[in-house]
Structure 1
Amino acid sequence: MIVAKTPAAYSNEPGNLGKAGPRIAALGSKVYAIAGRTAWSKAGPALTDSLKQEGIVFSVRLLEGPCTLANIERLSEEAERFEVDVILGIGGGTVLDLTKAVGDRLGLPVVTVPTIAATCAAWSALTVLYDDEGRSAGYLPLGSSPALVLADTGILSDAPRRYLASGIGDTLVKWYEIGINVKPGELGGLDARIGLSTSRLALDILKEHAVPVYNALERHESHPAFADVTDSIFLLAGLVGSVTSEVRRAGFAHAIHDALTWLPETHGSLHGEKVAFGLLAQLVLEGKRAEAEELARLHRSLDLPITLQELGIVGDSSAAIAAVASRIRFPQDVLDRLAFEADADRLAAAIAEADRIGRTIIHSQIPV
């Protein structure tokens, strides 16, 4: 059975927040807003003016800490006490994932306002869970995507470009992760075919435009493809996960990310940075070393980590690699559909080889 969950409306354009009031008013008149502190300082003034012009009553909760079940429960209870009819999230992936879970729990429409283009969290019908220590704690499927996604390219372009690179890394992964679940010569299910087509479009856009857009941000210049790149991160990557079926898939890049979060030394790395390195290991695991090298060079152009050291793991990494590989487990029926073997030993070897590829590329670029 195919299930599709998408936002009712999506918009990504300059000045969007100043026009948010009427669109949010169509959903309700009393808003509970969850925001990151920096995000609210950037987006709050325009949103506040627009909401007040529509007579919308709202309260703002500045979030600190990870997206945990306890925080979801706490903020759900607070929103319920306020008797609101709309949940609004302003910020990055942590804030937006928590916002969606609160809205899902209360059965209320959700509006997401991403202030960084680091993941597709603004779009997806999924919340990524962590524990109080910042370690991966699984995923919470939601009944629906947000009712409304409002992205403002002015806010997004003003954010540190590291977040955009992280979002690019997270989006590049989509096509490769879906592809391993469809064997060569097979058509795949409709959900996989939709995912492959959509993620291929995102991949093509990013391979052409990601580096020029990223470099333009360093010069504080606008680039005509900025909207295409951010739409790829939010809309196209979001669409990839919007269409699902009962068939389970393997995604090694994200599995490596999840396992890396259990190493405290990696907590300074962003989601997309860990996922991007995980993709290099997945390609090695598939026997595609040359492709891993090519992608590592693209990652390098975006200042994405291509070694374990750049993720925070310094010195002898053998114990860390073994720990990561041992945490990655997929059901046997999923592994049986792959065109390659993926046991813990092979995973560890692939992670180590991906690290060697990255170190070789970095060494070759050092002036002598």
Structure 2
Amino acid sequence: MSLINIPIKYENEISLEQSGELLRPLGKKALIIAGRTAFEKAGAKLETALKDAGIEYRIEIWGGYPTQQKAAEFGKLAQEYGADFVIGAGGGRILDLAKAASENASLDVVTVPTIPATCAAWSTLSVLYTDEGKQDVYVFRKRSPVLILADKKLLLEAPERYLIAGAADSIAKWYELNTNFNANKNDFALRLQLAVSKLILEFNETEFIDAYIKGETNEQLLSNTIDSNILLAGLSGSIEGKVAYGGLAHHFYNQSTQIDNPNKRLHGEVVIFGLNVQFAAEGKPDGEIREYLSRLKKL
């Protein structure tokens, strides 16, 4: 069996405050789960959109890790409040928390990414942690977020480090998936994943990385990088076949949370280091690994 689970709409052309018409069909009441910094940046715009749509809302600010307990609490709160849908506004951890909470409440979820560091806004997957920041469990939604509101102006205002980390995270996907190809050439879900991941890899390696290193980026290129980090990386992960996800880069990140302070580094920064661990495990020549490392370090 093959499954492609994608959002109904990825809106990347309008400002967040203009999204009322997209939100109106989703219901009359919404529970907003947001990070503190994220809500300071995006809250007023989101509230404008909800008011324009005539949607009542309740705001919950959360600054800790997305845990099973918190997902259960917010899911229960959404039900008690009578929410028709949940909105997650923030970075990957907040979006994962909102997705898991809405799944617990059997509600649709809208994601509002405020940093372009991962594909969490798109993915059905929520990575949940312990209170100490160690990775705990995966939670999969039955459906992708019903709507992604990717306000490019808002996302471009985020510190550049997040965009770079998102590119690093997405670059790893092709290399991880490709480890499975020779043994599974007849799995066309895997082929489709690889094709999408190849688009990400080619964009980053032929357009974004070189331009960034040379200081020749522009707003359109940065905007395209946001779409690569969220839309393309998310699409690649939305395709499910019979072959389990391969590679070591993301597994390296998962295990690193058990022994290191997860707040030190962004997800993509650890994943790209894990990719080089994978290269070493695959027996790639030292010179090839060093050359790739040198190029990435310039980011």
Report what 2:129 is aligned to: 130
1:244 maps to a residue whose letter is E
1:195 maps to a residue whose letter is Q
Q: Secondary structure at the match of 2:88?
A: strand
CA–CA distance in structure 2, aligned partners of residues 175 and 291 of structure 1: 17
CA–CA distance in structure 1, aligned partners of residues 12 and 166 of structure 2: 15
Offset from partner CA, 1:318-356 (integer Å, 9 cap, x none): xxxxxxxxxxxxxxxxxxxxxxxxxxxxxxxxxxxxxxx
Tell me, yes or no, if structure 1 residue 226 matches structure 2 residue 222: yes
Cα 1:115/1:187, change in 2 over 3 Å: same
Cα 1:232/1:102, change in 2 over 3 Å: same
TM-score, normalised with respect to structure 2: 0.94
Report what 2:205 is aligned to: 207
Report what 2:279 is aligned to: 283
Contact kept in structure 2, 1:261 and 1:267, CA below 8 Å: no
Report what 2:167 is aligned to: 168
Q: Secondary structure at the match of 2:115?
A: coil
Cα 1:225/1:48, change in 2 over 3 Å: same
Report what 1:355 is aligned to: none
Cα 1:188/1:293, change in 2 over 3 Å: farther
What is the Cα deviation at residue 137 of structure 1?
Answer: 1.1
RMSD between superposed Cα atoms in Å: 1.8
Tell me, yes or no, if structure 1 residue 44 matches structure 2 residue 40: no
TM-score, normalised with respect to structure 1: 0.77
Report what 2:237 is aligned to: 241
**Structure 2: unaligned runs, 5 residues or longer:** none
What is the Cα deviation at residue 225 of structure 1?
Answer: 1.3
What is the Cα deviation at residue 251 of structure 1?
Answer: 2.6
Q: Secondary structure at the match of 1:58?
A: strand
Report what 1:361 is aligned to: none
Contact kept in structure 2, 1:66 and 1:131, CA below 8 Å: yes
Offset from partner CA, 1:84-106 (integer Å, 9 cap, x none): 10100100000101111111121
Contact kept in structure 2, 1:209 and 1:229, CA below 8 Å: no
What is the Cα deviation at residue 247 of structure 1?
Answer: 2.7
Higher-Rg member (1/2): 1
Q: Secondary structure at the match of 1:87?
A: strand
CA–CA distance in structure 2, aligned partners of residues 266 and 8 of structure 1: 32
Cα 1:85/1:214, change in 2 over 3 Å: farther
1:7 maps to a residue whose letter is P
Cα 1:295/1:188, change in 2 over 3 Å: farther
Contact kept in structure 1, 2:133 and 2:262, CA below 8 Å: no
1:63 maps to a residue whose letter is W
Report what 1:363 is aligned to: none
Contact kept in structure 2, 1:31 and 1:87, CA below 8 Å: yes
1:112 maps to a residue whose letter is T
Offset from partner CA, 1:269-317 (integer Å, 9 cap, x none): 1111110100011011111234322321232121xxxxxxxxxxxxxxx
* Residue correspondences, number: 298
2:6 maps to a residue whose letter is T
Give the structure, 1 or 2, with the largest relative contact order (CA under 8 Å, sep 6 or more). 2
Contact kept in structure 2, 1:283 and 1:291, CA below 8 Å: no
Contact kept in structure 1, 2:5 and 2:239, CA below 8 Å: yes
Between stretches 68-77 and 243-252, larger displacement belongs to: 243-252
1:3 maps to a residue whose letter is L
Q: Secondary structure at the match of 1:140?
A: strand
Report what 1:337 is aligned to: none
Contact kept in structure 1, 2:250 and 2:271, CA below 8 Å: yes
Aligned with residue 197 of structure 1, among 195, 198, 205: 195
Report what 2:56 is aligned to: 57
